[in-house]
Amino acid sequence: MTLRPRRLALVAVAAALAVTLPVPPAGATGPNAARTASADASRTASTHASRTGPSGVPRTGFETSHGARWTTQDQERDFLAAVDRASDRVRTERIGTTVRGRPLRLVRIGAPAPKSVPEVRRGNSVLLICSQHGDEPSGREACLSTVRDLAFAEDPATRRFLERTSVLVVPTANPDGRAAGTRGNADGVDVNRDHLALKTAEGRAMAAVIRDHRPDVIYDLHEYGATTPYYMKDVLALWPRNLNTAGPVHHESAVLSEDYVRATARRAGFSTGVYGIWTDPVTGDPMKQVAGDGQERILRNTAGVKNSLGVLVETRVDALTDAEKADPALNNRRRVGSQLAGLKGLFSFAERHRARVEIATTAARLAGFADRGPVYLGGADNEPPAAEKVLKNPPCAYRLDAAQLAQVGDELRLHGVTWRQDGAGAVVPLRQSMRALVPLLLDGRAQSPLTAAAPVEHCRAPGAGR
């Protein structure tokens, strides 16, 4: 039987929000006003969640404890199973297993829930990757409650949104790290540095999801520790800086980051900034870059190289007020509230920019078949690449010998890279959707290649390139 609550907080479509995150009172300015609004927003969300509990709607462990404790993995399992049973908008499946035997789950949401990959591919889709770093739990809590809110919201705007948009969620992208409270996985590997090599079970599972579903937007939720007074905003965001990101995809990613995620968070009373950039505390001018480059192995950059919009969101961990210092639950609720504000901006963007995003991602996927233009092995959109890092006339293909194919064939498949058999080895053409990715994986001059394959300068066999 489908549960029908009177009303749930929806952080999906701006026009359909049941709970409005407050802004600072009229006349209030400065950081104290933002801190007050942030705390009020998290308290509002927590209070609403407690009111909906008696109706039988599933609640997370975080919500039932009013932010005192993060949702355990057993609670996550039970919560997702309850939502799945009660709503025809949600389908949960296992997409992998960690080295400690914990499940990696994917939640598909729609109206109704997509039953297959082709159903997702037919329309616009958004993928949320939550808690890649196990010691950054607030994004995971926002993802879990958003799954529930989208599953049960009754307003027409949300239903229309979900009829045209598939929302995909990996609620816990690093379950072993979450269980241990560590940044890395059980082997100590930073999963957000494994989106090229795919050596971890977590990275491989996410690569398969991206390959199969081809999401239009990949939204990556993180947390960070502030550096006073230069790097201390409530919400930071960043688009793909990798130069192999197609122009329209890069542009729409920046619009999502700056005009929707950050702008929505500001309207909710949170301070915002660009991830990785220290700013002058008086003028607000950028001082230096400490993170956020164009490395293709980081998810937001991998997303761009793979022709999806990519956005990284980092929210501040530190307690901001004496009240938050005295009550960790209050700090936790504010952290989750800031993540929910960013998600509100994401869903508003996905609704309003639907056509532009589909045009941008489709064009980017088709452009690789033209096999034209340079490929960049370094640099970023704010850092000109060294001359030796630009393949102005890249080879038309790379040849793998038998040993190399055995070594990297599985990773190429997970990335969605195609090749043709060549004796015991293979020839990997650039003329394919993942054109820009191929040299990053196979050219010995790249930053993190899987192997140093032999460049092929003249391609004559059908399907092998130009």
Helix axes 138-152, 73-86, angle to 10 degrees: 10
Q: DSSP labels for 54-117?
A: GGT----HHHHTTTSSPPPHHHHHHHHHHHHHH-TTEEEEEEEE-TTSPEEEEEEE-SS---SH
pLDDT class for 237, splitting at 50, 70, 90?
very high
Span 132-150, mean pLDDT?
98
Asked if the model's pLDDT at residue 19 lies above 50, the reply is no
Domain C-terminal end among 329, 362, 395: 362
Span 111-119, mean pLDDT?
94
- 273 and 213 within one domain: yes
Contacts of residue 181, Cβ cutoff 8 Å, sequence gap at least 6: 134, 135
Nearest 5°: the CA angle 281, 282, 284 is 70
Q: What percent of the chain has pLDDT over 70?
A: 87
Is there a domain that residue 7 lies in? no
pLDDT class for 9, splitting at 50, 70, 90?
very low
Domain C-terminal end among 305, 329, 362: 362
Check residue 230 and give its pLDDT: 97
- 401 and 288 within one domain: no
Check residue 122 and give its pLDDT: 87
Check residue 37 and give its pLDDT: 43
Check residue 10 and give its pLDDT: 33
- 205 and 60 within one domain: yes
Question: pLDDT tens-digit profile of 154-178?
Answer: 999 999 999 999 999 999 999 999 9
What CATH number is given to the structural domain containing 172? Answer: 3.40.630.10
What is the average pLDDT score of the chain? 89
Structural domain span for residue 196:
14-362
Check residue 55 and give its pLDDT: 67
Q: Alpha-carbon distance 247 to 242, whole Å?
A: 11
Check residue 390 and give its pLDDT: 98
Question: pLDDT tens-digit profile of 63-83?
Answer: 999 999 999 999 999 999 999
- 245 and 186 within one domain: yes
Question: pLDDT tens-digit profile of 222-236?
Answer: 999 999 999 999 999
DSSP 8-state class, residue 6: S
Instruction: Provide the number of structural domains found in the chain.
Output: 2
Residue showing tokens 């009177």: 6
Q: pTM of the entire structure? A: 0.90
